[in-house]
């Protein structure tokens, strides 16, 4: 069995603040070790349940967070800047005919109460993302794109809000591990990694052994994919991307009938929205 593992950082055991999540910040090295630890816990469970190939895609910020020297030997690591990965958090998912996917360290969508750093893809640009009219976060959206490839998501870990969101979109049959309960954007009641990692390992093993119970998340196609940006300037820039149609002052639609290509276009649009023009053009 081949398993695709997408790892984010906001929903990792013990991480509650931006100072653990970005290069140059005071506690970033601790954040990286914690992230690698939760990923390893999942990989161990997948191996126990018979996984034969595991691709781990580092999907947070600079996308070079996971420490390969501490990574479980059964894994392959897809590491590298978001600029070099057109599919970002799902890069590589179309390359190896995966049987299942796992999301580790995921967070809740933009505007969620009591969640660590809730946002959708880029908090600095995206106010809301909708798929077929329903607001989606990264967990739901990524699962839908993987679903279009026939890949079910079987396990999601994160804070309690992220886990509840995952079950609401993907169904109660999936496995979830809530490693902390947020009291706000930057505070949570956390359980130590010594408690959460064995749970993640057990849940990963259970999830993969229950693969016949799992089903891909497949919203009706073609996807009606819309994004509201925070500012009109961001929407101006995003709208110049091929495959993006402007619907209003801050709203675009990502056109197309292939979700995998729409996801790439979505990321291109968000990159364009975030990138400031060179000073001589501004």
Helical (H) or strand (E) element with 196: helix 193-209
As a whole number of angstroms, the distance between CA 27 and CA 10 comes to 14
As a whole number of angstroms, the distance between CA 216 and CA 1 comes to 16
Structure tokens at 1: 């069995």
| Min separation Cβ 173 and Zn ion, Å | 26
Instruction: Give the bridge partners for 126, in sequence order.
Output: 229
| Min separation Cβ 124 and Zn ion, Å | 12
Structure tokens at 278: 């060179």
DSSP alpha helices (H): ranges in 59-173? 138-148, 160-170
| Min separation Cβ 9 and Zn ion, Å | 5
**Sign of the torsion angle spanned by Cα atoms 187, 21, 15, 206:** positive
| Min separation Cβ 195 and Zn ion, Å | 23
**From residue 240, how far is each of 93, 97, 235, 243, 270 by CA, in Å?**
27, 33, 9, 9, 11
Q: Which is nearer to Zn ion, 9 or 203 (CB)?
A: 9
Residue number with the smallest Cβ distance to Zn ion: 60
Length of the chain: 282
Q: Which residues make up the interface to Zn ion (CB under 5 A)?
A: 8-9, 60
Q: Which is nearer to Zn ion, 9 or 166 (CB)?
A: 9
| Min separation Cβ 40 and Zn ion, Å | 18
SS3 for 218-230 is: CCCCCCCEEEEEC
| Min separation Cβ 215 and Zn ion, Å | 27
| Min separation Cβ 202 and Zn ion, Å | 25
Q: Which is nearer to Zn ion, 9 or 145 (CB)?
A: 9
As a whole number of angstroms, the distance between CA 87 and CA 80 comes to 12
Find out whether 15 and 82 touch, Cβ atoms under 8 Å.
no
Q: Which is nearer to Zn ion, 60 or 264 (CB)?
A: 60
As a whole number of angstroms, the distance between CA 136 and CA 121 comes to 10
Q: Which is nearer to Zn ion, 20 or 235 (CB)?
A: 20
Find out whether 47 and 26 touch, Cβ atoms under 8 Å.
no
Q: Which is nearer to Zn ion, 188 or 244 (CB)?
A: 188
| Min separation Cβ 39 and Zn ion, Å | 13
Q: Which is nearer to Zn ion, 20 or 160 (CB)?
A: 20
What would you measure as the largest C-alpha separation in the chain, in angstroms?
57
Q: Which is nearer to Zn ion, 117 or 264 (CB)?
A: 117
């Amino acid at each position: 069995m081949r398993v695709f593992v997408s790892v984010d950082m906001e929903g990792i055991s013990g991480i509650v603040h931006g100072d653990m999540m970005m290069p140059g910040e005071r506690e970033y090295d601790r954040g990286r070790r914690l992230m690698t630890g939760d990923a390893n816990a999942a990989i161990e469970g997948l191996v126990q349940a018979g996984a034969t190939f595991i691709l781990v895609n580092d999907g947070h910020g600079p996308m070079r967070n996971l420490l390969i020297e501490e990574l479980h030997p059964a894994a392959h690591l897809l590491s590298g800047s978001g600029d070099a990965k057109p599919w970002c958090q799902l890069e590589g998912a179309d390359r190896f005919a995966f049987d299942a996917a796992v999301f580790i360290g995921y967070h809740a969508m933009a505007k969620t109460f009591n969640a660590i750093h809730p946002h959708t893809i880029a908090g600095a640009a995206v106010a809301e993302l909708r798929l077929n009219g329903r607001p989606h976060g990264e967990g739901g959206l990524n699962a839908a794109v993987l679903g279009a490839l026939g890949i079910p998501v079987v396990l999601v870990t994160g804070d309690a809000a992220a886990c509840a969101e995952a079950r609401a979109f993907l169904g109660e049959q999936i496995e979830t591990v809530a490693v902390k309960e947020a009291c706000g954007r930057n505070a949570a009641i956390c359980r130590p990694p010594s408690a959460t990692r064995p749970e993640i390992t057990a849940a990963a093993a259970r999830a993969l052994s229950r693969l016949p119970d799992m089903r891909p998340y497949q919203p009706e196609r073609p996807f009606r994919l819309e994004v509201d940006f925070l500012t009109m300037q961001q929407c101006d820039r995003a709208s110049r991307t091929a495959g993006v149609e402007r619907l209003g002052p801050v709203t675009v639609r990502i056109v197309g009938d292939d979700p995998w290509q729409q996801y790439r276009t979505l990321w291109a649009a968000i990159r364009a929205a975030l990138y400031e023009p060179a000073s001589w053009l501004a």
